[in-house]
């Protein structure tokens, strides 16, 4: 109960400030409001309630992470829609399938976050492009043994996320 009380005080004291801080960075009041809420949701769903000595610095740190995820999602969406634009219209997925695929890509990106870039790349080449170990090794300029290690590392990340 103390966590909810602390969060309520934090929210009432700093929500408007955080919303303004995000609005200045995004230039969009709607996205700023959404990301401010996401920031407080992260605080609410945290495993532990930290001792907050500098509330604005604390919120800024979390909001920067939320903002970074927002930009990553935008980049991912842009790349996905560019790839769709290259597809012949007859094989392009339906709007519903596009939404499902995009959501899956976002979740996969979040899941693989923190893995080294070559590990992510090898995993995506295997899972999305369907390349064999040999083809991945050739594409990345690494050995097949390294490809196997990369794919095992990514698979472990996926397994433990479940």
Yes or no: say if 130 and 111 are a contact pair by the CB < 8 Å rule.
no
In terms of pLDDT, which residue wins out, 15 or 107? 15
Mean pLDDT computed over 9-23:
95
The pLDDT assigned to 123 comes to 92
Q: How confident is the model over 116-131, as a mean pLDDT? A: 90
Q: What is the pLDDT of residue 50?
A: 73
pLDDT value, residue 32: 96
Q: Calculate the average pLDDT of the chain.
A: 89
Q: In terms of pLDDT, which residue wins out, 21 or 46? A: 21
Q: What is the mean pLDDT of residues 90-116?
A: 87
Distance spanning both ends of the chain, measured CA to CA: 29
Tell me, what's the pLDDT at 160?
Answer: 78
Contact status, residue 111 vs residue 161, Cβ threshold 8 Å: yes
Domain boundaries, the chain: 1-90
pLDDT band at 2 (very low <50, low <70, confident <90, very high): low
Task: Assign 111 a pLDDT band (cuts: 50, 70, 90).
Answer: confident
Specify the pLDDT at position 1.
45
pTM listed for this prediction: 0.70
Average pLDDT over residues 73-90: 86
DSSP 52-110: -SSHHHHHHHHHHHHHHHHHHHHHHHHHHHHHHHHS-TTTSPPHHHHHHHHHHHHHHHH
- Note whether 18 and 63 are within 8 A (CB): yes
């Amino acid at each position: 109960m103390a966590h909810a009380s602390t969060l309520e005080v934090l929210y009432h004291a700093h929500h408007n400030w955080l919303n303004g801080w995000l609005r200045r960075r995004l230039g969009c009041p709607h996205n700023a409001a959404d990301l401010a809420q996401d920031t407080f949701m992260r605080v609410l769903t945290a495993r532990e309630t930290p001792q907050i000595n500098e509330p604005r610095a604390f919120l800024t740190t979390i909001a920067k992470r939320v903002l970074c995820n927002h930009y990553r999602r935008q980049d991912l969406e842009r790349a996905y829609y560019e790839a769709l634009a290259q597809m012949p219209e007859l094989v392009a997925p339906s709007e519903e399938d596009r939404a499902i695929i995009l959501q899956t890509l976002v979740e996969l990106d979040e899941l693989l976050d923190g893995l080294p870039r070559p590990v992510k790349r090898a995993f995506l080449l295997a899972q999305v492009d369907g390349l064999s170990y040999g083809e991945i090794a050739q594409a990345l300029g690494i050995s097949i043994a390294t490809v196997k290690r990369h794919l095992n590392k990514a698979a472990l990340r996926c397994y433990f996320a479940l």
